[in-house]
Structure 1
Amino acid sequence: MAEHVMATVDTPGGDTGSKQLVYRDEALEIERVCIDTIARTVPTPFYCYSSDAIRTAYLTLSAALKPVGASVCFAVKANANLSVLGLLADLGSGMDIVSGGELERALVAGVPGSKIIFSGVGKKRSEIARALEVGIHQINVESEAELDAVIDVAGALGVRAPVALRVNPDVDAGTHAKISTGKKEDKFGIAVQDIPALYTKAFAAPELDPVGLAVHIGSQILDLSPYRAAYSRIADLVRLLRSQGLPIRRLDLGGGIGIRYDHGTSADVGEYAMIVRETVRNLDCELTVEPGRWLVGPAGVLVTEVLYVKKTADRLTVIVDAGMNDLMRPAIYGAVHPVLPLKQDRQGNSHTYQIAGPVCESSDIFGTYRDLPPLRSGDRLAFGCAGAYGASMASTYNGRDLAAEVLVDGDRFRVIRRRQTTEALLALEDETEWQVSSHSPTDLRHAC
């Protein structure tokens, strides 16, 4: 397990949220709200987000991209809370979705279908139909089989479906293997060499409006050079298709801009904008980018309480009430989130602790942290950079409640998702009536 240092307020995330988390009078505040005050009202664990950090990140990215004419669609999978989506929608953001459920969330948050892009490799026909019914901006198609499904659904509805073909450029984003999406062995996208024939097919289908191409090479990208490689290949492909008389009006450049979970430097969005300008700006296409983590990751913390301090021969292990079901990234990717105590220790004492959750899995370990103050039962900690892929990936494993979400705005806060209790979850499993199959034993064997 990696060892991590985090005992100061110099929080990670670059310019995307660190200034909203500060110590005042030895107490950790998010914006102008003491997190301990929230914890006296909202039981731990809970997620807490800074409105100002999200606004600042969105406006910073939008300003960087304005000279190249690129619009922003937030990747809903990073944080699908309605209040977060509404905040971004009010700023003018569109949405990038990967499921029918995310589509409905975006619509309820006030985002019109015309500002929503539907990505993802496994869209159901019912989801495609719903997207077309609400006037989706475009559907990013990832295979010929999916293209055929869109043709069928659009034909049945009597509409033309706006589609972009997602290209797999075979570019290694240099990120974790489990969040890489642009190499040829990944499940995403269509091989470059297969695009011309499939785009020709789309252009010939009266049920389709082929609008352009899409690409997304991965997530948590800190070295931006893979973007240059991918976008250059897309630019070459645009020129090839146009030489064959096929129009390309839009380019969806995907997301994946990374943040730092330590004290390093985050990805420079100014450099990213320069790469966009130098590779695809002169193609005269409508450009869209789809960041998720960069906009909301540093804006959030996961607040937890120390249950026990366990002493063994070689270490001190702090058991907290947040588990891998609340923050999956350490267990899945070996990621280490920063940790801040809610109260500073002015005496200068420090210890090294392994921090672990209560889930019955050996992988329920958040990391080993140096330079933390002495901890005891009842103390509270905040895991930083938890605004992305925290609540959105959470589960009820081990019969644990889904934690509440809280939004801070200046000197006020409110619960934006109530805790989903065991009682509420049990209600979903109330007994229903048995249904008798109408198949004969012979029919049933054939059906299976």
Structure 2
Amino acid sequence: MRAISLEGKTLAVAAALAAGGAVLGVCIARQVDDGVLALLFSCALILPVTLLVIRRTMAPVSRYLQALIDGVSSLRDGDFSINLAVRRRDELGDLAAAYNSVGDILRSERQNLYQRELLLDTVIQSSPQSLVLVDDSGHVLYANTAARRRFADGRRMEGVLFETVLDACPPSLREAARAELDGLYTVEIEGSEPEILHVTRNQFRLNTREHRLYQFKSLTRELTRQELATWKKVIRVISHELNNSLAPISSLAHSGRLAVQAQRTDLLDGIFETIEERSARLRHFLENYARFAKLPQPRLERIDWSSFLPRLQRAVRFGLEGELPTEPANFDAAQIEQVLINLLKNAHESGSPADAVRLAVQQLDDGQFLIRVMDRGPGMSETVLASALLPFYSTKPEGTGLGLTLCREITEAHGGRVALANRAEGGLEVRLWLPMAHSGAV
């Protein structure tokens, strides 16, 4: 409880000094007949006393104010540990109590914030996704445990240029991290199985500076499970198709035997015609799968882009984007043409406007050719993106699920690779990387 205000204390001291001065002046005036001289004597005596009293009175106030200044400076520097002793029962005591209350609140908020940051960091560090935060100068600000294991063999990456870190990574991982579009990428590391990564990049502004967050999620296990489920599905499909064709053929063969025994040769033409039709349908069904399973090795030849693409435009409509490379390519023209026709037809069937279906060819610095097929359809969901390249996976009611898989197989047989990604402004983009020289086959 406040006893007396600081203003009251000051007025009391001033009143006491004034009264003392007046009494001293009267006493001196009685001893000295000269009033002016008495006034001078009284002033000479009272001024030192006044200064001494004011100094002793203001000394605690000065110490309190200095303590408050030091405390506020500590708050400014982020040190919330200082408390002030509340020994006064005036405005300065109230101010010290208010300062202590603010310090308690800030300490509590900092502790809560620290606990939340610790929890968030624990969650991020435990995440199987590789997370890398990069500032506008390209330096790594943060990398979780999974990212350090993937890119730096467990070493810290903070403060290092991300490009420098990528230079020491396998080429396929480096290309996936440097690619401009989000999507699925196959990463091949020597001595281990190929890994399928879903790579995303998010750009945002923090403290007026641009930052980029990279996320690398491994989908190998999920895709392996999906692939196993797909193979089970195709076995069911083939079994169903075989049963649908073999059962009628068996029945018709029995009917033919009965017709021969009954000497009803007039029924044999219809029976044989139906058996032939069923056999042809079964043969066509099996040929489609055999063509996928027995993809021939590519027959490489030098291909000039300026003659290859106009020929392709006569088969399917698309617009060219950008300049064509002057350097000729080296691939199987028939197989790559089949790949591009499949992709361009998919682009038209996606619901994209016909004039928005585009194709671009670019020669990269490392000598590869990058072919991009783009549309303005609805794109693909994350689930479809993760499964689109798997055999027999299709979202079309009458689809076989072999189109995109065949495209991938042909491209990889040329030593290249395929990636799918949604476009930022809407639509899908399929990217094909083809090396200048053939580097292997499947």
Highest Rg: 1 or 2? Answer: 2
Asked if TM exceeds 0.5, the reply is: no
- Larger RCO (CA under 8 A, 6+ residues apart): 1
The alignment's TM-score, normalised by the length of structure 1, stands at: 0.20
The alignment's TM-score, normalised by the length of structure 2, stands at: 0.20
From the two aligned structures, give the one with the greater strand fraction.
1
From the two aligned structures, give the one with the greater helix fraction.
2
